[in-house]
Chains A and B, each alone.
Chain A
Amino acid sequence: MVEQAADPVAEREVVLRATGIRKRFGPNEVLKGVDLTVLRGEVLCIIGPSGSGKSTLLRSLNHLEEIDGGRVELDGELIGYRRRGHRYVTLPGKQLAAQRARVGMVFQSFNLFPHMTVLQNIVESPVGVLKQPVREATATAMALLERVGLESKADAYPRQLSGGQQQRVAIARALAMKPRLVLFDEPTSALDPELVGEVLEVMKDLARDGLTMVVVTHEMGFAREVADTVLFMDGGIAVERGRPEDVLLNPRQARTKDFLAKVL
């Protein structure tokens, strides 16, 4: 995997493609036509100042956010909409749910279900949505918990865990659906500084194993070390994109330089 990551991601298949994504909240246009391509096994990090639209872009990729223009395709299939004549019509709930089941998501505020144990959190959807047998789902869940180093916490409730542990459970929960790719929405921003490392370690481990990931992050060190591609956004526009060593160390755009000067 290390050789592959070093090699430009050239001949791998496209998992997700977004073209010309537009989104406005009232009079405020937060996405002004953004393009995005994610290849299989690629780690794409989206960076940028707050309010640049990076979280909105991420949320539009699994239709948690309706978009006002453009299209998102997962494995060539249009996400969230169906074409009817010259218009796009929102898909019915059943199909939306089926599409979202193929895309994992990890939230800034974890969003574990507080009334369920760690194990119940993880098996809820594989059993309820994918109709996996409970025994199989439980075995998968325990393997995933071991992977994020929390097999001893299977019967704990989320509130009994630290933030870092909760986020690792949330990652295991997303992986239990065997998604095509996982979206991370600022996964370490709500964590105490000393807990950031354990979550990033898990994510690095997943990246090494070839998981396809789109990560909105403020962790420049993580982006430089793990990302195959870095996308810098500002004011609803994709300003610059490329290999991390290019974008982060030798940015071409003035706006990228300004931003990096502030955060590095």
Chain B
Amino acid sequence: MSGITAPADTPRGEARDGVRVAHRQHWGWWILVAFVVLCTAALVKMLLTNDNLQWHVVGEYLFTRRILQGLLTTLALTVLAMVLGTLLGVLTAVMRLSPIRVLSSVAWAYTWFFRGTPLLVQIIFWYNLAALFPTIDIGIPLTGPVLFSADANTVITPFVAAMLGLALNEGAYMSEIVRGGILSVDQGQSEAGAALGMRGGRIMRRIVLPQAMRVIVPPTGNQAIGMLKSTALVSVTSTAELLYTTQQVYNQTFQTIPLLIVASLWYLVVTSVLSVIQYYIERRYARGGRRELPPTPWQRFQRGVANVRGRM
């Protein structure tokens, strides 16, 4: 606030040094604010007065056991698919950047296939895997002895099919995100590591990946939030996640709108929680990137209060 000279006849009076900075007033902003306030008021009125929303039904179902179990399945799917997908993504990205041709080709083909077909098709495909392979055999391809064999329908339950579909698709996207992150780290960093006697794996783990995280985390947060909502696609394979559970309920009670609101509220809650987690992870990996860490929302709030007090 201080240190900058401004015309002395500022509207808010004088500070300690007799001079203070006045921000220009934009009257157009006030028109915009008025417009936004009006629209918000109209929306709130609709939400409160439209009987078709049936808020009492929303309240009734929001915390029922069945819905909460659906939510739990959605969360489990999101976390499992995201963790598996990220691991696959890191592996594929490192393979893709490998000088060994076979590895980079396999990684490229994987990304090409799983990014190139719709997620919904992949999920349905995994769900119907038994129609393609009635039994799943593990052994040496084409000739060798079979080490393990099982009925596809017992191994690939709807939940496993859903998880595989989501994770394999996610891996393809994550691999591109991780690859971009690795490529964003200056080549000199790997050289410095090598000159200090580090081997490839250690350079990747200790030097390159921690720096790549700054580039990887923001889009990964996006992916996690996207994944949460992609789990709704799994409802087509009758996996009892959040959407499928609400569908089951409203198919019996015909209270379609309030139950969709129940699902939406839960999706919003989880998305908000994920956003907060993302914020703090980003903050952690900003270390050394800037001279000062960005303030947390609480610190920002405190500074805001101090600012307002200073003006009064």
Which of A69-77, A110-118, A202-210 is near enough to bind chain B? A110-118
Query: Judging by beta carbons under 8 Å apart, are A100 and B195 in contact?
Result: yes
Contact of B206 among A102, A107, A128 (CB under 8 A): A128
**Binary CB contact string for chain B from 185 to 211 against chain A (1 if under 8 A, 0 otherwise):** 010110110111111101000110011
Min distance, Cβ A107 to any Cβ of chain B, angstroms? 6
Query: Judging by beta carbons under 8 Å apart, are B199 and A93 in contact?
Result: yes
Q: A107-B188, A128-B202, A160-B291 are in contact. Are A115 and B211 (CB under 8 A)?
A: yes
Query: Judging by beta carbons under 8 Å apart, are B195 and A62 in contact?
Result: yes
Query: Judging by beta carbons under 8 Å apart, are B199 and A97 in contact?
Result: yes
CA A62 to CA B194, docked complex, whole Å: 10
CA A160 to CA B293, docked complex, whole Å: 12
Residues of B contacting A158 with CB < 8 Å? 288
**Binary CB contact string for chain B from 135 to 173 against chain A (1 if under 8 A, 0 otherwise):** 000000000000000000000000000000000000000
Query: What's the tally of chain A residues with a CB closer than 8 Å to chain B?
Result: 33
CA A100 to CA B192, docked complex, whole Å: 11
Query: Judging by beta carbons under 8 Å apart, are A177 and B197 in contact?
Result: yes
Min distance, Cβ B67 to any Cβ of chain A, angstroms? 43
| Residue of A whose beta carbon sits closest to that of B205 | A128
Q: A128-B206, A158-B288 are in contact. Are A114 and B196 (CB under 8 A)?
A: no
CA A62 to CA B197, docked complex, whole Å: 10
Contact of B210 among A111, A115, A128, A129 (CB under 8 A): A115
Residue A236 lies at the interface, judged by CB distance under 8 Å to chain B: no
Residues of A contacting B198 with CB < 8 Å? 97, 125, 128-129
Residue A30 lies at the interface, judged by CB distance under 8 Å to chain B: no
Residues of A contacting B206 with CB < 8 Å? 124, 128
Query: Judging by beta carbons under 8 Å apart, are B287 and A115 in contact?
Result: yes
Query: What's the tally of chain B residues with a CB closer than 8 Å to chain A?
Result: 23
| Residue of A whose beta carbon sits closest to that of B290 | A159
Residue B289 lies at the interface, judged by CB distance under 8 Å to chain A: yes
Residues of B contacting A114 with CB < 8 Å? 211, 288-289
Interface residues of A in 93-129 (CB under 8 A from B): 93-94, 97-98, 100-105, 107, 109, 111-117, 124-125, 128-129
CA A130 to CA B120, docked complex, whole Å: 51
**Binary CB contact string for chain A from 53 to 66 against chain B (1 if under 8 A, 0 otherwise):** 00000000010100
Min distance, Cβ B97 to any Cβ of chain A, angstroms? 15
**Binary CB contact string for chain A from 159 to 181 against chain B (1 if under 8 A, 0 otherwise):** 11000000000000110010000
Residues of B contacting A222 with CB < 8 Å? none
Query: Judging by beta carbons under 8 Å apart, are B197 and A64 in contact?
Result: no
Query: Judging by beta carbons under 8 Å apart, are A111 and B192 in contact?
Result: yes
Query: Judging by beta carbons under 8 Å apart, are B196 and A101 in contact?
Result: yes
Residues of A contacting B189 with CB < 8 Å? 111, 113
Query: Judging by beta carbons under 8 Å apart, are A107 and B287 in contact?
Result: no
Query: Judging by beta carbons under 8 Å apart, are A116 and B288 in contact?
Result: yes
| Residue of B whose beta carbon sits closest to that of A93 | B199
Min distance, Cβ A221 to any Cβ of chain B, angstroms? 27
Residues of B contacting A94 with CB < 8 Å? 199
Query: Judging by beta carbons under 8 Å apart, are B196 and A125 in contact?
Result: yes
**Binary CB contact string for chain B from 273 to 301 against chain A (1 if under 8 A, 0 otherwise):** 00000000000010111110000000000
Q: Name, among A115, A158, A160, A174, the residue most crowded by chain B CB atoms within 10 Å (CB to CB).
A: A115
Min distance, Cβ A244 to any Cβ of chain B, angstroms? 27
| Residue of A whose beta carbon sits closest to that of B286 | A115
Contact of B288 among A64, A100, A107, A115 (CB under 8 A): A115
Residues of A contacting B200 with CB < 8 Å? 93
Residues of B contacting A105 with CB < 8 Å? 192, 195
Query: Judging by beta carbons under 8 Å apart, are A107 and B197 in contact?
Result: no
Q: A114-B289, A116-B288, A159-B289 are in contact. Are A107 and B192 (CB under 8 A)?
A: yes
Min distance, Cβ A106 to any Cβ of chain B, angstroms? 9
CA A104 to CA B290, docked complex, whole Å: 28
Q: A128-B198, A128-B206 are in contact. Are A159 and B291 (CB under 8 A)?
A: yes
- Per CB-CB distance, the 6 closest pairs between chain A and chain B, nearest first, are A101-B197, A111-B192, A105-B195, A125-B196, A157-B288, A111-B188
A-B contacts besides A112-B192, A114-B289, 6 pairs, CB < 8 Å: A102-B197, A107-B195, A111-B186, A111-B192, A115-B210, A129-B198
Chain B interface (Cβ < 8 Å from any Cβ of A): 186, 188-189, 191-192, 194-200, 202, 206-207, 210-211, 285, 287-291
Chain A interface (Cβ < 8 Å from any Cβ of B): 62, 64, 93-94, 97-98, 100-105, 107, 109, 111-117, 124-125, 128-130, 157-160, 173-174, 177
Q: Could you list 19 A-B pairs, sorted by A, with CB under 8 Å?
A: A64-B195, A100-B195, A100-B196, A101-B196, A101-B197, A102-B197, A109-B188, A111-B188, A111-B189, A111-B192, A113-B189, A113-B192, A114-B289, A115-B210, A117-B288, A125-B196, A128-B202, A129-B197, A159-B289
